[in-house]
Structure 1
Amino acid sequence: MKALLKHTRVSKKETFIKVTGSKSESNRLLLLQALYPSIAIKNLSESDDTRVLQKALQVESGLVDVHHAGTAMRFLTAYFATKEGAEITLSGSKRMHERPIKILVDALCSLGASITYLKEEGYPPLQISGKKIIHNQVTLKANVSSQYISALLLIAPSLPHGLTISLEGKITSVPYIKMTLALLDALSIENTFKGNTLTVHPKSNVSQTECVVESDWSSASYFYSFVALGAIPSVTISSYSEKSLQGDAALASIYKELGVKTVFNASETSVTLSASEEKHVTNLIVDLANTPDIAQTIVVTCFGLGIGCTLTGLHTLKIKETDRLSALKNELEKFGAQVSITNDSLQLESCNIKALSEKTKETIVVDTYSDHRMAMAFAPLALQFLVCMNDPMVVTKSFPSFWEDIQKMGVLADFQ
């Protein structure tokens, strides 16, 4: 399937959009709910990844296929390894079998877990025999995906002696680790984070608790991009908190430099994005080590504004749904952008975007690489170019209503 994106007239009525619950929060809470059934969850994410995880947590033994869901692969590896009596084959898509998991498996095995590789060492699929884990000390490098660390933190309170994690080096994606710890706090699970050491104390049960999932800040990034590129004067999205647990809430400060004003409506738990009277920067420089999931949106926004950017801290992007750095370079160059990348950074040169868009008369076909964020990040360029999106329904991985919602931004997806 493909979608031809058409720039349409925007309604002058007030624009309000309800964004699905955070996938990051939802998936963490689902795993905790599997360990402590007294937890109730509201505003759960409608994403494919969350549905896959929710279904997998009901399995006692046999094959579990997580498809493209990287978070589910990491969290379930830890969960099933500590579920006594479980015999699980944990598999996924072709791309999932290319995404490394050795660091997490090594950490779990050092604690006493029984996990074997069914094909290439260091990669899924995995054979997991759940057992009681009695060791409570583990060490791993700090610059790995935060999902490895969060997977260990989430199963830690269910272990007989809890868990102490020692991290070596500079920690990557600290906000996601703090999110996990904040959710443990909400359940009165004692934990500490001092220096490079994380400690979670054991807890046998949790009292009846209702957890409300905040909407996804990563999904909010696409509306920031539409506003920055002049699609609409303002849009209100919900449900968001100024005291968010999500690292991607950094969007508010980053997009201020790109000409978007953010106003939190506390009584309505919503946020209004509007075009700022202040001029945007001419060259954006930002370290996204703590917020790598918004890199694609930011790069495309900068290109659409005709400004340059230098983004660093992107070393985890190469092991996502695709090699996101290479994918960004490949697709932006189709529009005439000049992009250079390293293993952990991306540099975009400024350009005359008006001249490029007027010169480009043919439809530009954007490949999405089975990556939801590639599709959504590039959609706002339909305001300036003729765009055809390959595999547009990949967005259901995190934002099922995306194409319907962006009609309010002036872009209609004609599926073919």
Structure 2
Amino acid sequence: MKLSISAPRGHQIKAAVTITGSKSESNRLLLLQALYPGITIENLSNADDVRVMQKGLQVKQGEVDIHHAGTAMRFLTAYFATLEGADIVLTGSSRMKERPIAILVDALRRLGADIDYLGNEGYPPLGLRGRALELNQISLPANVSSQYISALLLVAPSLKEGLILDLEGQITSVPYIRMTLQLLEELGIRNEFTGQRIRVYPKAKVDPKLVVVESDWSSASYFYSILALSEEGSELLLSSYKANSLQGDSVLQNIYADFGVETSFEGHSIRLTKVGKAQINHLDCDLTEAPDLAQTIAVSCFGLGISCTLTGLHTLKIKETDRLLALEKELTKLGGKITTTNSTLQLEPSDEIVSGVAIDTYNDHRMAMAFAPLGLHTPITINDAGVVSKSYPYFWKDLKTISFDIREVS
């Protein structure tokens, strides 16, 4: 599906949008619900990744295909490795078979797991035969993906002795680790995070409990970008959010304040208001703890004509695509002057945006959604626009409610 995206110039946006639950929280809670059936979940994400996770958790024998869902690949690897009696082939898309998983597999094997590589060494697909793991202490490189760490922490309370996890090197995406531990805490599962060591204590049963998933801050980022590029006085009401969020991407509130977007909490909603022009000419931002915001922020800066230096982006090379390379290619098409390394992005200020450009999405939902706000400044085309269903199936529908003109083109 190819979509043409545009919006009226000089138009003040006034609208309300409901965003479904966080994909990150939803997938963590689904795994915990599989371990502890007394848990009830509300406001679950409707993303493809979450549907894949739900479907996979229902299987005990045979093949589980998670397609492009990286979180499901990491979490289900740990789940099936520790699920006694499971005999699973865990596979995914061609891109998934290029995404490394050796760090997690090595850790599980050292704990006693029975896992084979069925293709290239270090990559999916995997053969998993679930068993009770007797060992309870492991070390893990902490500077690659926090999902490896969270995968181990989520199954840890089901292990006979729990788990002691020693992290080596700089820890990446700490808020995602703290999210995992806080969800365990909410279920009465004791844990400790001190220095480079995390300990999760065993828990045989969890009392029945209702958990309400907060809406996704990553999805909110695209509306922050829209407000940043919109006319002064524009407002958006987004629900459902809370001030004490577990999600690291809630740092959006602070970053976009520099772009003239004010955030205020009203009950379970946030009101975004465009109060003025950007307060800065250059943005320096370390996104080590919120790397999923990189595409949105880079496009916002480009649309505002300001420069930026984004660091802490080393995990973006192993996402749905190489996000740094993809950003460089697509912003260059639009007239951007951008340079990237393995962990940084440098964007120079731009005076104009090349019109009539078709943005390639590289099977990456965030590429489609991050570039869409530029339709406020110039008509653009988004190729393979249906990829947004991975995390936000109603994205294009919601953009229509805030006056974007979205048309399918051949």
From 397, 403, 406, the counterpart of 1:410: 403
The CA distance in 2 between the partners of 1:9 and 1:28, in whole Å, is: 41
Q: Indicate if the aligned counterparts of 1:226 and 1:409 stay in contact, CA closer than 8 A.
A: no
Q: Structure 2 counterpart of 1:351, which letter? A: S
Shift of 1:13: 8.2
Contact map agreement 1:21 1:46 (CA 8 A) in 2: yes
User: Which blocks of at least 5 consecutive residues in structure 1 are unaligned?
Assistant: none
Q: Distance in 2 between matches of 1:379 and 1:410?
A: 13
Pairwise CA distance, 1:12: 6.8
* Alignment-derived partner of residue 123 in structure 2: 123
| Superposition map of 1:256-335 within 5 A | 256-265=257-266, 268-277=267-276, 279-335=278-334
Partner of 1:341: 340
Q: Deviations over 1:124-156 (max 9, x none)?
A: 000000001010001011112000000000000
Q: How many residues align?
A: 408
Distance in structure 2 (CA, Å) of the matches to 1:10 and 1:307: 20
User: Which amino acid in 2 is paired with 1:118?
Assistant: L
- Write the distance in 2 (CA, Å) between the matches of 1:36 and 1:15: 39
Structure 2 distance, partners of 1:9, 1:61, is: 55
SS of the residue 1:184 aligns to? helix
Report deviation, 1:20: 1.1
Question: Aligned partner of 1:173: which letter?
Answer: S
Q: What is the deviation of 1:169?
A: 1.2
2:2 corresponds in structure 1 to: 2
1:393 corresponding residue in structure 2:
386
Q: Work out the CA distance in 2 between the residues paired with 1:374 and 1:278.
A: 25
The C-alpha deviation readout for 1:71-108, integer Å capped at 9, x for no partner, is: 00000000000001100000000000000000000000
Structure-2 separation of matches of 1:118 and 1:386: 46
1:111 equivalent to 2:104? Answer no
Given residue 128 of structure 2, which amino acid in structure 1 is its aligned partner? I
Shift of 1:220: 0.2
Asked if the contact 1:10–1:410 (Cα under 8 Å) also holds between the matched residues in 2, the reply is no
The one of 352, 362, 369 aligned to 2:362? 369
* Matches of 2:111 and 2:43, distance apart in 1: 35
Would you say 1:241 and 2:242 are equivalent positions? yes
- CA contact 1:142–1:171 (8 Å) conserved in 2: yes
User: Which residue identity lines up with residue 237 of structure 2 in the other structure?
Assistant: T
Structure 2: gaps of 5 or more residues: none
Distance 2:319 2:241 in 1: 26
Q: Where do 4+ consecutive residues of structure 1 move more than 3 Å?
A: 8-14
In structure 2, C-alpha distance between the alignment counterparts of 1:280 and 1:10, rounded to whole Å: 20
Correspondence 1:380 to 2:373? yes
CA distance in 1, matches of 2:13, 2:327: 34
C-alpha separation between the residues in 1 aligned to 2:14 and 2:344? 38
Partner of 1:301, secondary structure, is: helix
Are 1:11 and 1:408, in contact at CA under 8 Å, matched by a contact in 2?
no
TM (norm. structure 2) is 0.97
Alignment of 1:352-367 (within 5 A): 352=351, 356-357=352-353, 360-361=354-355, 363-367=356-360
2:39 is matched by which residue type in structure 1? I
CA distance in 2: counterparts of 1:346 and 1:100, whole angstroms: 23
Alignment match, 1:199: 199
1:11 CA drift (Å): 8.3
Q: Residues 314-337 of structure 1, C-alpha deviation per residue, up to 9 Å, x if partnerless?
A: 000000000000000000001100
